[in-house]
């Protein structure tokens, strides 16, 4: 048996009830201008509106139908002519659901091959770092908890320090954490940050990068911890990354420093840059997350907690982003494919010394003072990060 076509409905606004909330539903033939894709129960509402081109505006709501195209022909009250209105898309309200956070990827499906001679390079970096005190060693994010006495506040101070450290030097972050602690009463706690005004937080952290945005993140994160985590730092990567302003690098480092949980490697720009310079990624990775997954697939688990501080200090003192000090690095004998040969020379401009000496005729000799960086400085003094 052939299924009969759905009834066709023509919606006409009553010409006698101007501004009336009632419109008539009139069945008509298939040749009419208004068609529905499928039969559904509908509500038609007409509210007061200004007439435009002898047509009256109609608000149509469909029950049980997410999206339907409806063409409406409205008769003009005087002339009797009709005009076709453009197709109207109607969407049900309240159907959009909040996006769920994607879980943080923990491992590669196919592990990255172990780089050749990686352990030699790693041990050479450890030996160099043992003689150099870098900013991360004295002012890193793990130092913030040392000023707190309550374990719960120690964990929260570590999280705050990590949130402030994004694109900010360790020295600036360390000072901002100290100022924020004083501004909220001498101790970094969730309750203290919830009660603090935005202006108090902003004044304390105004030296860090993106301090306005970080002020919002800190306030929102503190409120979330208060409401959902009993005013304590959560113990999983996904829960930490659900907090505003917290990414995977911060989450892994926070779990290592706050909870002593070794579940992954915290990869920042230093780790990302140095491991690519060493040729440990084939092909080179494009972002820190790719670097993390590669490293976690082959680096021994016991080295995961220490590699971040090791390479960050190495990147702050020797393997600089611009002008790396390859001549002082022990990896330039074949362990680092990116090593630059020769002596790095820095010329200080504006310090020309002119000495005039007269022999047979007038002669001017110009000497330029230069500073060469061709030897390791005194191990007792940290190298400059500039």
Q: Which two three-digit tokens encode residue 274?
A: 């140095």
CB 209 within 8 A of CB 169: no
Neighbours of 106 (CB within 10 A): 12
The answer to whether the CB of 195 falls within 8 A of the CB of 187 is: no
Active site (annotated) includes residue 249: yes
Length of the chain: 386
- Which helix (H) or strand (E) segment holds residue 128: the answer is helix 118-129
Q: Concatenated DSSP letters for 176-226? A: HHHHHHHHTTSS--HHHHHHS-HHHHHHHHTTSTTHHHHHHHHHHHHHHHH
Active-site annotation holder among 102, 235, 249, 341? 249
H or E element: which one contains 139?
Answer: helix 135-139
Cβ(309)–Cβ(269) under 8 Å? no
Calculate the CA 227 to chain-centre distance.
23
Catalytic residues: 249
């Amino acid at each position: 048996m052939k299924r009969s076509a759905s009834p066709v409905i023509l919606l006409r606004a009553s010409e006698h009830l101007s501004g009336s909330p009632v419109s008539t539903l009139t069945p008509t033939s298939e040749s009419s201008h208004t068609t529905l894709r499928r039969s559904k129960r509908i509500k038609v509402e007409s509210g007061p509106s200004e007439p435009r081109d002898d047509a009256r505006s109609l608000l149509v709501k469909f029950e049980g139908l997410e999206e339907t195209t409806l063409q409406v022909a409205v008769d003009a009250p005087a002339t009797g002519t009709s005009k076709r209105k453009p197709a109207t898309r109607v969407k049900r309200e309240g159907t959009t659901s909040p996006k769920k956070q994607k879980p943080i990827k923990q491992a590669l499906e196919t592990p990255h091959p172990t780089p050749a001679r990686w352990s030699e390079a790693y041990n050479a970096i450890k030996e160099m770092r043992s003689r150099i005190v870098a900013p991360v060693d004295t002012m890193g994010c793990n130092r913030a908890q040392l000023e707190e006495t309550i374990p719960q506040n120690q964990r929260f101070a570590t999280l705050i320090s990590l949130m402030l450290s994004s694109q900010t030097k360790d020295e600036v972050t360390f000072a901002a954490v100290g100022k924020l602690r004083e501004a909220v009463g001498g101790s970094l706690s969730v309750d203290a940050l919830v009660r603090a005004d935005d202006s108090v937080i902003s004044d304390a952290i105004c030296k860090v990068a993106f301090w306005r945005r970080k002020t919002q993140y800190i306030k929102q994160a503190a409120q979330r911890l208060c409401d959902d985590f009993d005013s304590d730092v959560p113990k999983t990567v996904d829960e930490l990354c659900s907090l505003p302003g917290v990414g995977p690098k911060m989450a892994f480092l926070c779990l290592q420093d706050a909870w002593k949980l070794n579940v992954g490697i915290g990869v920042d720009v230093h780790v990302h840059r140095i491991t690519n310079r060493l040729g440990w990624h084939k092909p080179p990775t494009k972002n820190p997350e790719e670097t993390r997954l590669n490293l976690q697939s082959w680096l021994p688990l016991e080295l995961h907690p220490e590699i971040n501080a090791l390479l960050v200090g190495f990147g702050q003192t020797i393997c600089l982003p611009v002008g790396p000090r390859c001549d002082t690095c022990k990896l330039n004998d074949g362990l680092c494919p990116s090593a630059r040969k020769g002596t790095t020379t820095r010329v200080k401009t504006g310090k020309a010394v002119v000495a005039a000496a007269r022999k047979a005729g007038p002669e001017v000799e110009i000497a330029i003072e230069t500073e060469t960086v061709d030897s390791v400085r005194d191990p007792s003094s940290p190298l400059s990060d500039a």
